[in-house]
Amino acid sequence: EIRTPLNAIVGLTGLALQTKLTEQQEDYLTKVDMSSHALLGLINDILDF
């Protein structure tokens, strides 16, 4: 299923955000987190259609 690898990205990004990061690393991971959640929502909407 297409959501499985995306769920891994969402989960691991969340875990990484809980670690000690530089400001730049936190900024990058926050963007990945927001984008992956948006993409997962879009995929869910398409698959539920």
DSSP string covering 29-42, please? HHHHHHHHHHHHHH
Orientation of helix 23-48 relative to helix 3-17, angle to 10°: 150
pLDDT of residue 37: 97
What residue ranges in the chain does DSSP mark as E strands? none
Decide if 1 contacts 44 (C-beta within 8 A): no
Q: Model's pTM, two decimal places?
A: 0.86
> What gap in Å lies between CA 31 and CA 12, rounded to an integer?
14
pLDDT of residue 1: 83
pLDDT in tens, the chain (49 residues): 889 999 999 999 999 999 999 999 999 999 999 999 999 999 999 999 8
- How many alpha carbons lie under 13 Å from residue 10 in its C-beta half-sphere? 13
